[in-house]
Structure 1
Amino acid sequence: MNDPVFVALLLVQVAMGGFDTVYHHELTQRLAWKPGQATELHLHGARNMIYALVFLMLGWTEPHGVAAVLLIGALSVELGITLWDFVEEDRVRALPASERVTHTLLTLNYGVLLAMLAPELLAGAREPITLVLREHGIVSLLLTVAAIGVMACGIRDLFAAVRNHRLDETPAGELAAAFGARKAVLVTGGTGFVGRRLVAALVAAGHDVTVLTRDARRALGLAMPVRIVTDLGALSDDFRCDVAINLAGEPIAAGRWTVKRRELLIGSRLEVTSALLALLARLEHRPEVLISGSAIGFYGIADSGAIDESVVQGRGFAAQLCARWEAAARRAEALGVRTVLLRTGLVLGNSGGMLAGLLPIFEAGLGGPVGNGRQMMSWIHRDDLVRLIVTAAADQEIHGALNAAAPNPVSNRAFVKLLAQALHRPAILPLPAAPLRFVLGDLADELLLGGQKILPVKAVFHGFRFRYPRLEQALDDIVGGPVQRVATSTRPFAEARLLH
């Protein structure tokens, strides 16, 4: 521990490991909330506990005798866990380039550290079996902080691994049961949060699926077999397409609505929709139906009164965006293609969507209502949304606007309360409106501080039965709680209430 080069490399290793844990495991990959990650979480948890032991021993002991033997054993076990982790990561998920680069740098740096430490440890292991405590100044303090940090991460990963077994999703094929006979389905936006689950459902149910994506690398991890295309113009005129599902578009809540951002949001939707309409126009066999994305933002901010599909366009940028997207999609009707405009609410799931940013915050006990908390939140469980898309495609009587939201919207304050209860955490830290407006501008008013009370009248009229009609059921399922799904209700809107 007296070699400044070794100390520097060790602190670099700690910093890179912290970056990998926070940025990749927690923020971007969200491993703690991704189904099927139990083994990787167990490995991360065990490795972090070993790191805590190693950091404390390097920081407060001399590496000989008992300390040397323990360090040799701990580092040997850690090396085996790391190799196992590499195999497990490649087996269950597609690592982003930044994570692969970070892992490579960690491995190289770790190799140098072992090469520098090994001779001293092997020599120390032959010395008398004594444990000598030795303080190394600021290095001891830094390694103690690092030990506490990795220990906290290890405990969190081990608990998350136990919970992960309860995050297993409904078998995907069940969600596409309404389709019946095998169909050829074209999906744009199939690599997104909703699209991936939809593609998995269609593939599991035995349908032929073609996915349009601008970047073929984003298709890694999709359920197979699927056909990947990056340009609809490359499809031949005899391309078979029974159903077209158009979900492509830049995320609307991914940044402040600058002039350039607004143009991108509109352009990304209109461009893909226009290309899709051009394909449909030249196909020898046109699809039976086009399901095209939209959102409840079509109705603008309307906190008073229930909204069904008959309500006209509201005010604001989101309403304009949705209206233009819908108008572009409606051109398919002139081609004889039944068109459904899917006005989607807030989509809930544990692997993305709006909860992607909320779950870590609320799990840490840092959540609370947004603004005054009275704005309405119309939501839908991701599995119910996939089922509704399939139902709309299969039912020839469904056309035009279709509200894709559960029958029981709630206030933001109620949403926060139920999410905190599902996680067994407090939710007492409000997020004031003023800083949100300052940072996000119109986006804050339209998507966070305003809301709509949406009712899925058309879906229920056509016999659709929500598996998660109440928010508490949806959240319990998402966080791995003891949910009991409800298939139907003889009075589907009897529970549609304002929760405060």
Structure 2
Amino acid sequence: MEHSRIAVAGASGLIGAALVRSLAADGHEVVRLVRREPRTPDEVRWDPERKYVDPAGLAGCDAVVNLAGANVGSRRWTDAYKARIRDSRVLGTTALAEAVASLDRPPRVFVNGSAMGIYGETGDRAVDEDAPPGEGFLPELCVEWEGAAAPARAAGVRTVFTRTGLVVSREGGAWGRLFPLFKAGLGGRMGDGRQYWSFVSLHDEVAAIRHLIDTDGLSGPFNITAPHPLTNAEITAAMGRVLHRPTLFTVPAPVLRAVLGEMAGDVLGSQRVLPMRLLESGFTFAFPEIEEAIRAAK
């Protein structure tokens, strides 16, 4: 893609920060949406919970990428925090989609974050983008989150949903917590270890988002997960091999439920998610296997 102006919401998060670095390194002009008063010309004010974004700041953008949302894994899911998780995603997406739709010259593409959590518990069954949503808080949230982008779609803007898996990175997310434990020799499987974890390297996550921005004709949901999901026990063993540490510990399911509350279902649940549409669109993973992804992150 030629040098473009691209707006990114959630630019301080794990994926957003990596995307901004990648775009800037290639000479693109990146506009970051911030919740405070803008301090530099490349910042635009927004307040997702109040459904406000300064549309003038999005003028001239070729793409708008929304990766904003309260951290799903940072604390227990109290009712109040679940409301915050929902509002930060649904209201923020609504604000951006409406702002995009209001522009005289809308962007070519609106990329909106989503999550593989939309499928809920899949057990051993592999699912692709054709699978229906599951049941529970995360699937219902993801359906509402994607639905909030409707104003952009209605305005004729190509709209993409990135249903992201567990991102392998030292810098944050689930793996940001796992690396220190495993390096200390305290890593091990969680529950019975038979649950599938659909992972993706941070490098491939960013590359996939850029592929979706750049490739005309791609719209709708795309699973951003490596093509070979593995069980928690298999991933635990791979972490031990790459980091040269024992993986003798196990965290029993009741302990996880006591510590994490409702969020434990996300760790113990099984999601075997395949990136069918991404592969069909010609995308190539740099780190398709778990050991490669761990090495790239460590």
TM-score, structure 1 normalization = 0.57
Corresponding residue for 2:107?
287
Aligned pair 1:409/2:224, yes or no?
Answer: no
- Determine the C-alpha separation between the residues in 2 that align with 1:247 and 1:476: 25
- Determine the C-alpha separation between the residues in 2 that align with 1:233 and 1:437: 38
Question: Matched residue of 1:380: which SS?
Answer: strand
Which residues in structure 2 correspond to 1:112-191 (within 5 Å)?
180-191=1-12
Corresponding residue for 1:228?
43
2:211–2:283 CA contact under 8 A, matched in 1:
yes
What is the CA-CA distance between 1:303 and the residue it aligns to? 1.3
- Determine the C-alpha separation between the residues in 1 that align with 2:132 and 2:216: 24
Match of 2:264 among 444, 450, 454: 444
TM-score, structure 2 normalization = 0.94
Question: Matched residue of 1:415: which SS?
Answer: helix
Aligned pair 1:197/2:18, yes or no?
Answer: yes
Corresponding residue for 2:166?
346
Match of 1:364 among 174, 184, 187: 184
Corresponding residue for 1:296?
116
What is the CA-CA distance between 1:454 and the residue it aligns to? 0.7
Question: Matched residue of 1:312: which SS?
Answer: coil
- Determine the C-alpha separation between the residues in 2 that align with 1:206 and 1:226: 16
Match of 1:431 among 251, 259, 281: 251
1:441 maps to amino acid:
G
2:35 maps to amino acid:
R
Which residues in structure 2 correspond to 1:368-383 (within 5 Å)?
368-383=188-203
| Alignment size in residue pairs | 293
1:211 maps to amino acid:
R
2:73–2:173 CA contact under 8 A, matched in 1:
no
Cα distance change of structure 1 residues 324 and 238 upon mapping to structure 2, 3 Å threshold: closer
Question: Matched residue of 1:421: which SS?
Answer: helix
What is the CA-CA distance between 1:444 and the residue it aligns to? 0.3
Larger relative helix fraction? 1
Aligned pair 1:248/2:63, yes or no?
Answer: no
Corresponding residue for 1:43?
none
List gaps (5 residues or longer) in structure 2: 47-51
Aligned pair 1:210/2:31, yes or no?
Answer: yes
2:3–2:29 CA contact under 8 A, matched in 1:
yes
2:71–2:85 CA contact under 8 A, matched in 1:
yes
- Determine the C-alpha separation between the residues in 1 that align with 2:250 and 2:129: 33
Corresponding residue for 2:49?
none
What is the CA-CA distance between 1:216 and the residue it aligns to? 6.7
1:397 maps to amino acid:
G
- Determine the C-alpha separation between the residues in 2 that align with 1:199 and 1:182: 14
List gaps (5 residues or longer) in structure 1: 1-179, 220-224, 480-500
Larger relative strand fraction? 2
Cα distance change of structure 1 residues 419 and 322 upon mapping to structure 2, 3 Å threshold: same
1:203–1:226 CA contact under 8 A, matched in 2:
no
* TM-align CA RMSD: 1.7
- Determine the C-alpha separation between the residues in 2 that align with 1:430 and 1:238: 48
1:316 maps to amino acid:
G
- Determine the C-alpha separation between the residues in 1 that align with 2:74 and 2:93: 21
- Determine the C-alpha separation between the residues in 2 that align with 1:392 and 1:226: 26
Match of 1:465 among 271, 279, 284: 284
- Determine the C-alpha separation between the residues in 2 that align with 1:322 and 1:474: 26
2:196–2:230 CA contact under 8 A, matched in 1:
yes
Aligned pair 1:474/2:296, yes or no?
Answer: no
Which residues in structure 2 correspond to 1:76-91 (within 5 Å)?
none
- Determine the C-alpha separation between the residues in 2 that align with 1:347 and 1:329: 24
Cα distance change of structure 1 residues 465 and 238 upon mapping to structure 2, 3 Å threshold: closer
1:369–1:429 CA contact under 8 A, matched in 2:
yes
Identity among equivalent positions (%) equals 37
- Determine the C-alpha separation between the residues in 1 that align with 2:204 and 2:232: 21
Cα distance change of structure 1 residues 226 and 429 upon mapping to structure 2, 3 Å threshold: farther
- Determine the C-alpha separation between the residues in 2 that align with 1:359 and 1:402: 27
- Determine the C-alpha separation between the residues in 2 that align with 1:213 and 1:236: 14
1:367 maps to amino acid:
G
1:187–1:209 CA contact under 8 A, matched in 2:
yes
1:211–1:226 CA contact under 8 A, matched in 2:
no
Corresponding residue for 1:322?
142
- Determine the C-alpha separation between the residues in 2 that align with 1:230 and 1:326: 23
- Determine the C-alpha separation between the residues in 1 that align with 2:150 and 2:280: 22
1:415 maps to amino acid:
I
1:238–1:285 CA contact under 8 A, matched in 2:
no
Question: Matched residue of 2:182: which SS?
Answer: helix
- Determine the C-alpha separation between the residues in 2 that align with 1:318 and 1:182: 36
Corresponding residue for 1:390?
210
1:237–1:284 CA contact under 8 A, matched in 2:
no
What is the CA-CA distance between 1:238 and the residue it aligns to? 7.8
2:97–2:150 CA contact under 8 A, matched in 1:
no
